[in-house]
Amino acid sequence: MWRWQRESGMRRALLDRIDWHVRAGERWALLGPNGAGKTTLLTLAAAVEFPSRGTVEILGCTMGRTDVQRLRERIGFVDARLGARFAPMLTVRQVVHTGATGTIGSFEERLSGLDRERADMLLGAFGLGPLGDRRFADCSQGERKRALIARSLVARPRLLLLDEPFAGLDVPGRETLLAALDRLAGTDPGLAIVLSTHHLEELPVSTTHALLLRQGRAVAAGGAAETLADDPLTACFGLRLRVIRQAGRWSAAAAAG
Ligand SMILES: Nc1ncnc2c1ncn2[C@@H]1O[C@H](COP(=O)(O)OP(=O)(O)OP(=O)(O)O)[C@@H](O)[C@H]1O
């Protein structure tokens, strides 16, 4: 993936030599320092951007040789900008319903009974049942994040991409979202999930794999137990780190001495 750098007038690789496969049911953590390329990689995986070189195959479709609109219907992608796109008067339930129509605007008349049932089930699964009639714009950041993830699941995607879903959440907000993601892993075991974050404390217990990026390249990729370890994370962040795993959760801090 190459981008034109206006400042230098040069082309620079934003992602380079990445050979990464995500299979059904795998739940990946995507980690790396600021500017490592996490968002860029997720926009490729979401079929939002096209690679300038190399091949991207998503859900059996090769980018550049497929109808991206139809492909995007099978992908749930939640990034930091999504929430700001909804009209302020929409309720949480209406925002979640837009997942069925694949729109930002509300088209309630197009919803089937099954769509409404699924949306209600997801509102409950993400702890939003009592908030269905609240204006989305009035919700806390954590509530909005959960509503957007619920929205992205209404159309039963096979790939869920979450770009820094914990950004701005307090500890209870983080823990509520983590519990919802762990439940989702149990209720939809075939769903592939990729979640980017800066903090190991924000990884669901159900994480199965990790990809560590640094300066657009993969430092390590593989099973969570081997990849989320002292040496790979030290190489990724350029700081000697010690990783602790307790009750399935990870945390990291600078190594002493
Ligand atoms: N449209 C663009 N044109 C030029 N450079 C870009 C463009 N988009 C991103 N970049 C650069 O690509 C690099 C990777 O950006 P990206 O947003 O993917 O990183 P990230 O790992 O998600 O970072 P962060 O953790 O800070 O969100 C950065 O150096 C960024 O400045």
CATH code for the domain in which residue 38 is found: 3.40.50.300
DSSP conformation class of 135: B
200 in a structural domain: yes
Residue minimizing CA distance to atom 13 of ligand 1: 35
| Predicted TM-score (pTM) of this structure | 0.92
- Cα–Cα distance between 30 and 39 in angstroms, integer? 10
28 in a structural domain: yes
pLDDT reported for residue 5: 44
Find the 7 Cα to ligand 1 centroid distance in Å.
Answer: 14
Find the 12 Cα to ligand 1 centroid distance in Å.
Answer: 11
Which of 14, 30, 214, when mutated, tests ligand 1's pocket best, judged by the most ligand atoms within 8 Å of its CB? Answer: 14
Find the 72 Cα to ligand 1 centroid distance in Å.
Answer: 22
118 in a structural domain: yes
Residue 202: Cβ within 10 Å count = 23
70 in a structural domain: yes
14 lines ligand 1 (CB under 6 A): yes
pLDDT reported for residue 7: 47
Residues 180 and 57 in one domain: yes
34 lines ligand 1 (CB under 6 A): yes
Residue in the block written with tokens 């974050």 = 197
Which residues have CB under 8 Å from 104's CB, separation 6+?
Answer: 85, 86, 98
- CB-count exposure of residue 235 (10 Å: 0-12, 13-18, 19+): middle
3 lines ligand 1 (CB under 6 A): yes
pLDDT reported for residue 53: 80
Kind and range of the H or E run holding 184: helix 171-187
Which residue range(s) make up the domain with 107?
Answer: 86-156
Find the 216 Cα to ligand 1 centroid distance in Å.
Answer: 9
Find the 89 Cα to ligand 1 centroid distance in Å.
Answer: 32
* CB-based contact 11:3 (threshold 8 Å): yes
Per-residue pLDDT tens digits of the chain, which is 257 residues long: 444 444 445 566 677 788 899 999 999 999 999 999 999 999 999 999 888 888 888 998 888 888 888 899 899 999 988 888 999 899 999 999 999 999 999 898 999 999 999 999 999 999 999 999 999 999 998 899 999 999 999 999 999 999 999 988 889 889 999 999 999 999 999 999 999 999 999 999 999 999 999 999 999 999 999 999 999 999 999 999 999 999 999 999 998 86
* CB-based contact 31:37 (threshold 8 Å): no
